[in-house]
Structure 1
Amino acid sequence: MALILKGAVKLYFHLNEEIADHRTQNWPLMRTPWPGIALLVFYLMTVLNWLPKYMENRPACDLRKVIALYNALQIACCVYVLYQGLKLGWLSHYKLICNPLEYGPQADEYAWKVCYTYFLIKVVDLFDTVFFVLRKKQNQVSFLHVYHHFGMVAVAWGMVKWLPGGHTSFLVVVNSFVHIIMYMYYLLTTWDDSYKQSVWWKKHVTQIQILQFSILFIHFCVLAFAKECPFPREPAYILIPQNLFMVILFSDFYYRTYIKPNKTIKNK
């Protein structure tokens, strides 16, 4: 038992101190994993237990104006991160395959303006679920929804903690672009209910999500199998199954929502 505890302490020190990026260590929420873990546990307890119980005998909240402002803010933040990601990396000197983690003033700027800002956006994304519960849309608090939001906070934290830039940060650019489209759709639905009834819009937003995770799956496979890659391969061993799992979950959702009902109607 003592040997196991000693090994666990050694592993924790290795992950939290030895291989952590020294530039980001003292940024808020980055020194140790415990504040982030506490935040995610609080999120789960809030949206799955505490808040649903609180809303059980209360009417749904009218959050139309709040959500409209929230969606507009999300669009602005995602545009900022996408712009900085392209300007400081992917449209200037970053290469698509095995781009190494860089150091220097511009790399520090990339770590702060792109990776860390993206992490903060993923934390703010957790309010999506809170809004569902307050509006008594508990059916939308699905495993896919909660797992996706939980997982993206964890992935973004790990990127800032260990590798704030380089190959894996491609997901920031791709995901920010997708979220601009997604939150523009959400913003439209707050102003015009007809968009909520439009299967065309919802269907293509889901298709874009599937395409996103498929692209990222391939991108991390390249990292795992490319020869003489100057970027660490270890993140690929986590992000390959993660993105494959997301492709499967979103594809299953797409099938059950848009394909299966049409088959049922045709059979009838």
Structure 2
Amino acid sequence: MIVFIIPVKSKKVATSWPDLCKLFDRSLRAVCNQTSPDFKVIVVCNEKPTTSFEHPNVEYLCVDFPPPGEGYGVKVDDRAKRVVAGLFAVKNLQPSHVMSVDADDCISKHIAEFVNKNPEKNGWYVDQGYEYDEGSSKIAVKKEGFYRICGTCNIVNYRLFTLPPEMMQYDQLTGYDRFLGGHPLAKGDLAERGTPLEALPFPGVVFVRDQAGESVSMQESFLEKWKRNPKETLRGVKKRLLAPFKEQVLTDSIREEFGLYPLSR
């Protein structure tokens, strides 16, 4: 069985809590739209997001984590610690695999069925996917390297996670895999351990670009990105310039597979 962990930032640091809740609602519905019923969803949050959607496979894990400070690093670390809390919470479920899902992204409805047919596999990284600017009638196709740009990109066998011996206080919580805070690292780190991930053989995720959602990278200024990783920043500029040439019409079939319905305003 696969478990999806959705870490949700604190209401105190959300750019717009109402907009974040709308994005979360859509993301949660997409996760639960799986073709296989054999999955579980753990939402790790300080405050439960407002949603009318209910599903028997969804549980909320409410934590009392302090709001993170300013800066990319602490925000990424906060997300990682929420995922760690979720990993401890699902231990007794004995899942085969875990996928962390950013609370504004949408995933393919075929993931649970595919993963559950391959319970002994080390896992997969999402190499193919889509990028979507909220409200657009078009969507950009990413045919390779998707895992480098989106945090919703790794499906990892539970046995491969390195966790501290027990859940600790927020400020003392260390000892977990660095790829929980740096999603592109999972592919290389797990290969170095002798437990390589495979490329998911189909487009797995829609990376939603919005200004009010969960994405830490979307809230990071250009200067902050440049200081942190100039090479990646230049790659991002090039990608945005070329994006119009890689876009296609957002079809009903893509909307249906990924639950990417228009948000009401």
**Taking structure 2 as the reference length, what is the TM-score of the superposition?**
0.27
- Judging by fraction of residues, say which structure has more helix: 1
Greater radius of gyration (CA):
1
